[in-house]
Amino acid sequence: MTAATLIDDLFSSGILIETGVDGLYGRSGAFEEVIDRFNALITRFGGGDGATRVHFPPGISRTQFEKSGYMKSFPQLAGTVHAFVGNDADHCRLLAQLQAGEDWTEGQKPTDIVLTPAACYPLYPAVAKAGALPDAGKLYDLTSYCFRHEPSKEPTRMQLFRMREFVRIGTPEQVRGFRESWLTRGQEMIGLLGLPLTVDVANDPFFGRAGKMLANNQRDSGLKFELLIPVNSEENPTACLSFNYHQEHFGSLWGIKGEGGEVAHTACVGFGMERVALALFKHYGMDTDAWPEGVRKVLWG
Ligand code: AMP
Ligand code: ZN
Protein backbone atom coordinates (compact mmCIF):
# COMPACT_ATOMS: atom_id res chain seq x y z
CA MET A 1 0.00 0.00 0.00
CA THR A 2 1.45 3.36 -1.00
CA ALA A 3 0.82 6.75 0.64
CA ALA A 4 -1.69 7.49 -2.15
CA THR A 5 -3.73 4.33 -1.64
CA LEU A 6 -3.58 4.73 2.15
CA ILE A 7 -5.03 8.23 1.97
CA ASP A 8 -7.69 7.04 -0.49
CA ASP A 9 -8.67 4.28 1.93
CA LEU A 10 -8.81 6.74 4.82
CA PHE A 11 -11.06 9.08 2.83
CA SER A 12 -13.33 6.41 1.39
CA SER A 13 -13.87 4.81 4.79
CA GLY A 14 -14.56 8.24 6.32
CA ILE A 15 -11.72 7.96 8.84
CA LEU A 16 -10.30 11.23 7.49
CA ILE A 17 -12.44 13.85 5.78
CA GLU A 18 -11.12 15.81 2.81
CA THR A 19 -11.13 19.62 2.84
CA GLY A 20 -9.44 20.25 -0.50
CA VAL A 21 -6.20 21.24 1.25
CA ASP A 22 -3.42 18.67 1.60
CA GLY A 23 -2.65 18.10 5.26
CA LEU A 24 -5.90 19.66 6.56
CA TYR A 25 -8.41 16.94 7.39
CA GLY A 26 -11.49 16.27 9.43
CA ARG A 27 -11.36 13.27 11.76
CA SER A 28 -14.07 10.67 12.31
CA GLY A 29 -15.32 9.59 15.70
CA ALA A 30 -13.47 6.29 15.28
CA PHE A 31 -10.22 8.13 14.59
CA GLU A 32 -10.70 10.35 17.67
CA GLU A 33 -11.53 7.29 19.76
CA VAL A 34 -8.16 5.78 18.81
CA ILE A 35 -6.42 9.04 19.73
CA ASP A 36 -8.23 9.05 23.09
CA ARG A 37 -7.24 5.46 23.77
CA PHE A 38 -3.62 6.10 22.81
CA ASN A 39 -3.63 9.15 25.07
CA ALA A 40 -4.82 6.90 27.90
CA LEU A 41 -2.00 4.44 27.12
CA ILE A 42 0.56 7.26 27.34
CA THR A 43 -0.93 8.25 30.70
CA ARG A 44 -0.68 4.63 31.86
CA PHE A 45 3.07 4.78 31.19
CA GLY A 46 3.81 8.33 32.33
CA GLY A 47 0.93 9.24 34.63
CA GLY A 48 2.75 8.17 37.77
CA ASP A 49 5.56 10.68 37.28
CA GLY A 50 3.57 13.56 38.71
CA ALA A 51 3.78 15.81 35.65
CA THR A 52 1.92 19.11 35.79
CA ARG A 53 -0.71 19.27 33.06
CA VAL A 54 -0.83 22.53 31.13
CA HIS A 55 -3.01 23.39 28.15
CA PHE A 56 -2.32 26.20 25.74
CA PRO A 57 -4.51 27.03 22.76
CA PRO A 58 -2.83 26.35 19.40
CA GLY A 59 -1.46 29.88 19.16
CA ILE A 60 1.56 31.53 20.74
CA SER A 61 2.34 35.17 21.41
CA ARG A 62 4.07 36.69 18.38
CA THR A 63 6.58 38.41 20.68
CA GLN A 64 7.50 35.08 22.25
CA PHE A 65 7.59 33.42 18.85
CA GLU A 66 10.02 36.07 17.56
CA LYS A 67 12.26 35.58 20.59
CA SER A 68 12.14 31.78 20.22
CA GLY A 69 14.34 31.95 17.11
CA TYR A 70 11.91 29.78 15.13
CA MET A 71 12.19 32.02 12.03
CA LYS A 72 15.96 31.53 12.07
CA SER A 73 15.67 27.75 11.97
CA PHE A 74 12.32 26.87 10.35
CA PRO A 75 10.92 29.88 8.42
CA GLN A 76 9.41 27.48 5.86
CA LEU A 77 7.15 25.83 8.46
CA ALA A 78 5.76 28.79 10.38
CA GLY A 79 2.19 30.02 10.05
CA THR A 80 1.23 33.50 11.20
CA VAL A 81 -2.32 34.65 11.95
CA HIS A 82 -3.38 37.70 9.94
CA ALA A 83 -6.63 39.67 10.19
CA PHE A 84 -8.54 42.49 8.55
CA VAL A 85 -8.04 45.77 10.40
CA GLY A 86 -9.18 48.31 7.77
CA ASN A 87 -11.92 50.93 7.55
CA ASP A 88 -15.11 51.03 5.42
CA ALA A 89 -13.19 51.92 2.27
CA ASP A 90 -10.76 49.06 2.84
CA HIS A 91 -13.73 46.76 3.37
CA CYS A 92 -15.27 47.85 0.04
CA ARG A 93 -11.98 47.12 -1.72
CA LEU A 94 -11.77 43.73 -0.03
CA LEU A 95 -15.29 42.79 -1.14
CA ALA A 96 -14.57 43.94 -4.70
CA GLN A 97 -11.40 41.85 -4.77
CA LEU A 98 -13.29 38.80 -3.50
CA GLN A 99 -16.04 39.39 -6.06
CA ALA A 100 -13.49 39.64 -8.87
CA GLY A 101 -11.60 36.57 -7.68
CA GLU A 102 -8.52 38.73 -7.08
CA ASP A 103 -6.01 38.46 -4.27
CA TRP A 104 -7.82 39.90 -1.24
CA THR A 105 -5.11 39.02 1.30
CA GLU A 106 -2.82 42.00 0.68
CA GLY A 107 -4.73 44.10 3.21
CA GLN A 108 -4.58 41.45 5.93
CA LYS A 109 -2.34 42.53 8.79
CA PRO A 110 -0.38 40.36 11.24
CA THR A 111 -2.05 39.84 14.60
CA ASP A 112 -0.23 39.22 17.88
CA ILE A 113 -0.72 35.47 17.42
CA VAL A 114 1.37 32.87 15.59
CA LEU A 115 0.24 29.27 15.21
CA THR A 116 2.00 26.96 17.66
CA PRO A 117 4.73 24.98 15.87
CA ALA A 118 5.40 22.51 18.72
CA ALA A 119 3.43 21.95 21.92
CA CYS A 120 6.32 22.91 24.20
CA TYR A 121 7.01 26.38 22.70
CA PRO A 122 4.64 28.43 24.91
CA LEU A 123 5.78 26.58 28.03
CA TYR A 124 9.36 27.85 28.41
CA PRO A 125 8.59 31.57 28.85
CA ALA A 126 5.81 30.68 31.31
CA VAL A 127 8.21 28.54 33.37
CA ALA A 128 10.86 31.27 33.31
CA LYS A 129 8.32 33.77 34.64
CA ALA A 130 7.42 31.48 37.55
CA GLY A 131 10.89 31.98 39.11
CA ALA A 132 13.76 29.72 40.15
CA LEU A 133 13.39 25.98 39.61
CA PRO A 134 13.15 23.74 42.68
CA ASP A 135 16.00 21.21 43.13
CA ALA A 136 13.82 18.45 41.72
CA GLY A 137 13.28 20.47 38.55
CA LYS A 138 9.94 20.43 36.75
CA LEU A 139 7.98 18.01 34.61
CA TYR A 140 5.06 19.03 32.38
CA ASP A 141 2.45 17.18 30.34
CA LEU A 142 1.14 19.22 27.39
CA THR A 143 -1.05 18.67 24.36
CA SER A 144 -1.60 21.08 21.52
CA TYR A 145 -2.70 21.23 17.97
CA CYS A 146 0.40 22.36 16.07
CA PHE A 147 0.73 23.98 12.66
CA ARG A 148 3.50 23.32 10.15
CA HIS A 149 3.34 24.56 6.60
CA GLU A 150 4.31 21.31 4.91
CA PRO A 151 1.42 20.32 2.63
CA SER A 152 1.77 16.73 1.47
CA LYS A 153 -0.20 13.85 0.00
CA GLU A 154 1.21 11.62 2.72
CA PRO A 155 -1.53 11.33 5.34
CA THR A 156 1.15 11.29 8.06
CA ARG A 157 2.39 14.76 7.10
CA MET A 158 -0.39 17.08 8.17
CA GLN A 159 -0.43 20.85 8.46
CA LEU A 160 -2.53 20.78 11.63
CA PHE A 161 -1.95 17.86 13.97
CA ARG A 162 -1.77 17.10 17.67
CA MET A 163 1.36 16.66 19.66
CA ARG A 164 1.38 15.43 23.24
CA GLU A 165 4.61 16.22 25.01
CA PHE A 166 6.26 15.59 28.31
CA VAL A 167 8.82 18.30 29.03
CA ARG A 168 11.53 17.91 31.67
CA ILE A 169 13.34 20.96 32.99
CA GLY A 170 16.24 20.63 35.42
CA THR A 171 19.87 19.55 35.72
CA PRO A 172 21.61 17.79 32.82
CA GLU A 173 21.38 14.50 34.77
CA GLN A 174 17.66 14.86 35.47
CA VAL A 175 16.92 15.77 31.88
CA ARG A 176 19.05 13.04 30.31
CA GLY A 177 17.57 10.44 32.67
CA PHE A 178 14.07 11.51 31.61
CA ARG A 179 14.91 11.14 27.95
CA GLU A 180 16.52 7.71 28.46
CA SER A 181 13.51 6.42 30.36
CA TRP A 182 11.10 7.57 27.63
CA LEU A 183 13.26 6.02 24.92
CA THR A 184 12.64 2.69 26.67
CA ARG A 185 9.00 3.35 27.52
CA GLY A 186 8.18 4.53 24.01
CA GLN A 187 9.45 1.26 22.54
CA GLU A 188 7.55 -0.77 25.14
CA MET A 189 4.37 1.14 24.40
CA ILE A 190 4.51 0.78 20.63
CA GLY A 191 5.65 -2.84 21.08
CA LEU A 192 2.48 -3.52 23.11
CA LEU A 193 0.49 -2.30 20.12
CA GLY A 194 2.28 -4.88 17.98
CA LEU A 195 3.63 -2.27 15.57
CA PRO A 196 7.05 -2.72 13.92
CA LEU A 197 9.45 -0.03 15.06
CA THR A 198 12.99 1.25 14.83
CA VAL A 199 14.74 3.96 16.83
CA ASP A 200 17.24 6.18 15.09
CA VAL A 201 19.19 9.36 15.57
CA ALA A 202 17.53 12.24 13.71
CA ASN A 203 17.64 15.94 12.95
CA ASP A 204 15.13 18.74 12.64
CA PRO A 205 14.50 20.23 9.16
CA PHE A 206 16.66 23.35 9.69
CA PHE A 207 16.30 25.75 6.76
CA GLY A 208 18.92 26.54 4.14
CA ARG A 209 22.65 26.10 3.87
CA ALA A 210 23.42 27.20 7.44
CA GLY A 211 20.73 24.76 8.53
CA LYS A 212 22.72 21.83 7.14
CA MET A 213 25.41 22.48 9.72
CA LEU A 214 22.89 22.73 12.54
CA ALA A 215 21.31 19.47 11.43
CA ASN A 216 24.69 17.71 11.27
CA ASN A 217 25.64 19.01 14.68
CA GLN A 218 22.32 17.84 16.14
CA ARG A 219 22.86 14.36 14.73
CA ASP A 220 26.53 14.13 15.71
CA SER A 221 25.71 15.15 19.28
CA GLY A 222 22.80 12.67 19.48
CA LEU A 223 20.39 15.42 20.53
CA LYS A 224 17.35 14.01 18.69
CA PHE A 225 16.09 10.46 18.41
CA GLU A 226 12.94 9.27 16.70
CA LEU A 227 10.84 6.16 17.00
CA LEU A 228 9.84 5.24 13.47
CA ILE A 229 6.99 3.03 12.26
CA PRO A 230 6.40 2.12 8.61
CA VAL A 231 3.14 3.78 7.59
CA ASN A 232 3.38 5.19 4.05
CA SER A 233 6.08 2.74 2.98
CA GLU A 234 8.51 0.17 4.33
CA GLU A 235 11.52 2.08 2.94
CA ASN A 236 10.72 5.39 4.63
CA PRO A 237 9.24 4.72 8.04
CA THR A 238 7.49 7.63 9.76
CA ALA A 239 8.73 9.39 12.91
CA CYS A 240 5.89 8.86 15.38
CA LEU A 241 7.65 9.74 18.64
CA SER A 242 10.54 12.19 19.12
CA PHE A 243 13.00 12.44 21.98
CA ASN A 244 14.74 15.80 22.04
CA TYR A 245 17.52 17.06 24.29
CA HIS A 246 17.90 20.84 23.95
CA GLN A 247 20.80 21.15 26.41
CA GLU A 248 20.85 24.79 27.62
CA HIS A 249 19.14 26.19 24.52
CA PHE A 250 15.71 27.07 25.93
CA GLY A 251 17.00 27.58 29.48
CA SER A 252 19.40 30.31 28.43
CA LEU A 253 17.07 31.79 25.80
CA TRP A 254 14.25 32.31 28.31
CA GLY A 255 16.29 32.59 31.52
CA ILE A 256 15.12 29.41 33.26
CA LYS A 257 17.44 28.95 36.23
CA GLY A 258 17.89 26.92 39.39
CA GLU A 259 18.09 28.44 42.91
CA GLY A 260 21.86 28.83 42.50
CA GLY A 261 21.51 30.66 39.17
CA GLU A 262 22.58 27.71 37.02
CA VAL A 263 20.88 27.60 33.63
CA ALA A 264 18.35 24.78 33.32
CA HIS A 265 18.61 22.04 30.72
CA THR A 266 15.46 20.86 28.95
CA ALA A 267 14.28 17.81 27.05
CA CYS A 268 10.93 16.83 25.59
CA VAL A 269 9.35 13.65 24.33
CA GLY A 270 6.74 14.30 21.67
CA PHE A 271 4.01 11.89 20.57
CA GLY A 272 2.59 12.47 17.11
CA MET A 273 -1.00 11.54 17.97
CA GLU A 274 -2.31 11.37 14.40
CA ARG A 275 0.76 9.47 13.22
CA VAL A 276 0.34 6.72 15.81
CA ALA A 277 -3.39 6.48 15.01
CA LEU A 278 -2.59 6.28 11.28
CA ALA A 279 0.02 3.58 11.93
CA LEU A 280 -2.68 1.54 13.69
CA PHE A 281 -5.20 2.05 10.86
CA LYS A 282 -2.56 1.18 8.28
CA HIS A 283 -1.47 -2.04 10.01
CA TYR A 284 -4.84 -3.28 11.29
CA GLY A 285 -7.33 -1.89 8.80
CA MET A 286 -10.02 0.77 8.72
CA ASP A 287 -12.46 -1.05 11.02
CA THR A 288 -11.32 -0.81 14.65
CA ASP A 289 -13.79 -3.56 15.65
CA ALA A 290 -11.80 -5.95 13.48
CA TRP A 291 -8.40 -5.07 14.99
CA PRO A 292 -6.52 -7.96 16.63
CA GLU A 293 -7.87 -8.89 20.05
CA GLY A 294 -4.51 -8.22 21.74
CA VAL A 295 -4.29 -4.70 20.32
CA ARG A 296 -7.89 -3.92 21.25
CA LYS A 297 -7.19 -5.12 24.76
CA VAL A 298 -4.18 -2.83 25.16
CA LEU A 299 -6.16 0.18 23.95
CA TRP A 300 -9.65 -0.50 25.28
CA GLY A 301 -8.71 -2.64 28.30
P1 AMP B 1 9.13 17.18 16.00
O2 AMP B 1 9.08 18.42 16.85
O3 AMP B 1 9.33 17.47 14.56
O4 AMP B 1 10.07 16.15 16.53
O5 AMP B 1 7.66 16.58 16.08
C6 AMP B 1 7.18 15.87 17.20
C7 AMP B 1 6.27 14.77 16.73
O8 AMP B 1 5.14 15.35 16.06
C9 AMP B 1 6.92 13.87 15.67
O10 AMP B 1 7.55 12.78 16.29
C11 AMP B 1 5.76 13.43 14.86
O12 AMP B 1 5.22 12.25 15.38
C13 AMP B 1 4.76 14.56 14.97
N14 AMP B 1 4.76 15.37 13.72
C15 AMP B 1 5.72 16.22 13.28
N16 AMP B 1 5.36 16.79 12.12
C17 AMP B 1 4.15 16.28 11.80
C18 AMP B 1 3.24 16.47 10.71
N19 AMP B 1 3.51 17.32 9.71
N20 AMP B 1 2.07 15.78 10.72
C21 AMP B 1 1.78 14.93 11.73
N22 AMP B 1 2.60 14.70 12.78
C23 AMP B 1 3.76 15.37 12.83
ZN1 ZN C 1 9.11 19.93 22.54
The mean pLDDT value for 96-104 works out to 97
Residue 134 CA to ligand 2 center (angstroms) comes to 21
Which ligand is closest in space to the CA of residue 271?
1
Residue 94 CA to ligand 2 center (angstroms) comes to 39
pLDDT of residue 50: 97
The architecture (CATH level 2) of 3-79+117-300 comes to 2-Layer Sandwich (3.30)
pLDDT of residue 73: 97
Share of the chain above pLDDT 90, in %: 98
Hey, where are the domains in the chain? 3-79+117-300, 83-114
pLDDT at 1 over 70: no
Looking at per-residue confidence, does 5 or 240 come out higher? 240
Q: Which atom of ligand 1 is nearest to the CA of 242?
A: 10
pLDDT at 9 over 90: yes
Residue 138 CA to ligand 2 center (angstroms) comes to 14
142-172 residue pLDDT tens: 999 999 999 999 999 999 999 999 999 999 9
Atom 2, ligand 1: which residue's CA is nearest?
Answer: 118
Atom 3, ligand 1: which residue's CA is nearest?
Answer: 204
The mean pLDDT value for 177-181 works out to 98
Cα 41 versus chain centre, distance: 18
